[in-house]
Structure 1
Amino acid sequence: MAAQLAPAGVPRLARGVRLRHDEARGQWVLLAPERVLHPDPVAVEILKRVDGERSIDAIIDELITAFAVERERVAQDVDAFLANLATKGMVEVA
């Protein structure tokens, strides 16, 4: 299991990693050197907020407001998702 990230940490996509909407397929893709991931709708909502300015707590707060969901569950999901991407070198947390 990946380590828990600091709530005050500010995630950003690693160098060379981009979130793009593939118009031809009508879906979002996460592009990295020699890799393409097809994030699900929940992952896309998290990734749209990973801008190098918002803290993990701020991302969680925005998701709670936008989707009226329980904070504890959102926090666990966001942390697990970002920790997984950090392990893969696709997200950096300052």
Structure 2
Amino acid sequence: MSTVAPHIAESDRPRLAPGVMLRNDRRRGQWMLMGPERLLVLDEMALAVVRACVGPDIADVAAGIDRLSVEYDAPRTEIAGDVLEMLTDLRNKGYVVT
């Protein structure tokens, strides 16, 4: 029997999972999350979400959503849904922890 992890909440403070690093491959012009035996290439939006919402210096996901909403001049509710879904997916794949 498998259990489904709950979605990440705006009050959470996700950080990179142990052994996972955010790296820039300058030769290829790509940012990626690198972990033991795995690699995830980030597109521009995923990179923005990771930078705004993941890390020890981040207040919480809500602050990151607010920042992204202003930066991209987009409705907060739309940004929030996309960000929470992306962070939950990254957590479920083992790239971030809460």
TM, length-normalised to structure 2: 0.87
Number of aligned residue pairs: give it. 93
Distance in 2 (alpha carbons) for counterparts of 1:13 and 1:91: 4
Distance in 2 (alpha carbons) for counterparts of 1:10 and 1:32: 20
The C-alpha deviation readout for 1:10-42, integer Å capped at 9, x for no partner, is 010111111111011011111111011111110
The equivalent residue for 1:51 is 55
The equivalent residue for 2:91 is 86
| Runs of 4+ deviating beyond 4 Å | none
Secondary structure of the corresponding residue to residue 16 of structure 1: coil
The equivalent residue for 2:81 is 76
The equivalent residue for 1:29 is 32
Q: What do you get for the CA RMSD once the two structures are aligned?
A: 1.5
The equivalent residue for 2:70 is 65
Whether the 8 Å CA contact 1:8–1:57 is kept in 2: the answer is: yes
- Cα distance change, pair 70–2 in 1 and its aligned pair in 2 (3 A): farther
Where does the alignment leave 5 or more consecutive residues of structure 1 unmatched? none
The equivalent residue for 2:21 is 18
Q: 2:11 aligns with which of 4, 8, 13?
A: 8
Whether the 8 Å CA contact 2:33–2:41 is kept in 1: the answer is: yes
